[in-house]
Structure 1
Amino acid sequence: MVILQVDFDYKGGYDEDMFKECENLAKSIACEPGFMWKIWTQNKEKNTSGGIYAFESKDDAQKYIKMHLSRLEKSGLASNFRYEIFETNEKLSAITNFPPKS
């Protein structure tokens, strides 16, 4: 598993407005190859948004980010993109309660 961290300047709404603006986007993201999960992030004070994603492989994350940044740029709601891909240490993560227990 790899983690993709993305953030960008955001011109859209937040909270319920973001949900309305991005619900179809969320459904599309959920169908991407190798996608596992995403935590949506927002910072109203700094007018930024983004997310923390998990993908099965680095290759899946790289393919996704190339497509996603283009899609966001075309939307006109986002600019000044920043992202990074991290490998995970699953043994240490398990000690610190990841994945969360149900």
Structure 2
Amino acid sequence: MPRLVSIEFSSDGPFGAQAASAYAELAADIAAEDGLIWKVWTEDPTTSVAGGAYLFADEASADRYVDKHTRRLGSFGITDARISNLAVNEQLSTTTFATLTQD
């Protein structure tokens, strides 16, 4: 069953195009994660928040990534991450146009 992971944390940036450039290598690493279907990068410079929403193929992949990324954030000095890891109701989600697999 797919899992939706949400991670949000305090950030002073970079944001926007500067973030895209600064985090290109990180994005490539995340894209190679086993079980990752997609990630949406999120940011709000006005409230100094960044993070992302991730869809994983299964619970084991999501759990493995949460552990890895929590350690990675800690190495960046980020200790206030708010993380949720929730099961996806596939039937309702596809009714409302969610894409739950990689094509």
> Structure 2 length normalisation: TM-score?
0.88
- State, as a whole percentage, how many aligned pairs show the same letter: 28
Give, in whole Å, the separation in 2 of the partners of 1:36 and 1:95: 19
Q: Please, which runs of 5 or more residues in structure 2 have no aligned partner?
A: none
Q: Which runs of no fewer than 5 residues in structure 1 stay unpaired?
A: none
Which residue pairs with 1:74 in the alignment?
Answer: 75
After TM superposition, give the deviation of residue 93 of structure 1 in Å: 1.0
Which residue is equivalent to 1:26? 27
Shift of 1:41: 0.3
The TM-score normalised by the length of structure 1 is: 0.89
**Distance between the aligned counterparts of 1:97 and 1:36, measured in 2?**
15
Q: 1:48 to 1:16 in 2, by over 3 A?
A: same
Distance 1:46 1:80, change over 3 A: same
Secondary structure of the structure 1 residue equivalent to 2:6: strand
Partner of 1:57: 58
Distance 2:79 2:20 in 1: 19
Question: Are 1:10 and 1:79, in contact at CA under 8 Å, matched by a contact in 2?
Answer: no
